[in-house]
Amino acid sequence: MAMAMAKAMDLPRQWTLCVFVLVLALMLVSGSVEAKHYRGSRTIMVGGDLHWKFGYNYTAWALTAGPFHVGDTLVFKYQPAQIGNITIVHNVNLLKDHKAFMKCDFKHAVEIADASRGPSGFEYTLTHHRSYYFACSERGGLHCSAGMMKFSVRPMK
């Protein structure tokens, strides 16, 4: 009788232990995320697994990948692609301001990475608390407008 009682008591005790371990694990995980967040030095793959490519909405991507912090490094990864006899390449430009960004106007843009920088992953560190406007200028701006290869970030201090 006493043994049966003890057995019945065992189950809740095991559950309590289980929950305790789970809570501890969660605390550890959130703690490490917070520590990462604090250091403000994340390395972020632009586009996630899709990398830097034509036709992916990078404005939407940036909304989910943020918030960004000064000291974070963005990685732009891209390969030349062959479609029929046309080779499609990409690059990375910094556009002048929000107006240029809206219009995909590359007149005063600065190319920070050409096609050759993509395969190894071009790294760009956000060093200032200001707005950055990234875009691909290929095909006379078509990659930026129709291809949605543009996004802006304003890293937090």
Ligand X SMILES: *[C@@H]1O[C@H](CO)[C@@H](O)[C@H](O)[C@H]1NC(C)=O
x-marked contacts with ligand X along 82-101 as a string, rule CB under 6 A: --xx----------------
The phi-psi region of residue 136 (left if phi > 0; otherwise alpha if psi is between -120 and 50; otherwise beta) is: beta
What whole-number distance in Å separates Cα of residue 147 and Cα of residue 127?
A: 27
Nearer to ligand X, 148 or 153 (CB): 148
List the one residue out of 119, 113, 107 whose CA is nearest residue 136: 113
Q: Closest CB to ligand X among 79 and 152?
A: 152
Smaller CB separation from ligand X, 135 or 148: 148
Span 43-72, contacts to ligand X by CB under 6 A: 57, 59-60, 63
Neighbours of 21 (CB within 10 A): 10
Instruction: Report the residue number, 57 or 79, with the smaller CB distance to ligand X.
Output: 57
CB neighbours of residue 115 within 10 Å: 17
Contact mark string toward ligand X, 6..25, x via CB under 6 A: --------------------
Q: Distance (Å, rounded) from C-alpha 34 to C-alpha 16?
A: 27
Shortest-Cβ-distance residue relative to ligand X:
60
Q: Considering CB under 6 A, how many residues would be counted as binding ligand X?
A: 7
Euclidean distance between CA atoms 126 and 157, whole angstroms: 10
Q: What's the rounded Cα separation, in Å, for the pair 101 and 108?
A: 11
Site string for ligand X, 95-134 (x = CB under 6 A): ----------------------------------------
Query: In the complex, which residues of this chain contact ligand X (CB under 6 A)?
Result: 57, 59-60, 63, 84-85, 148
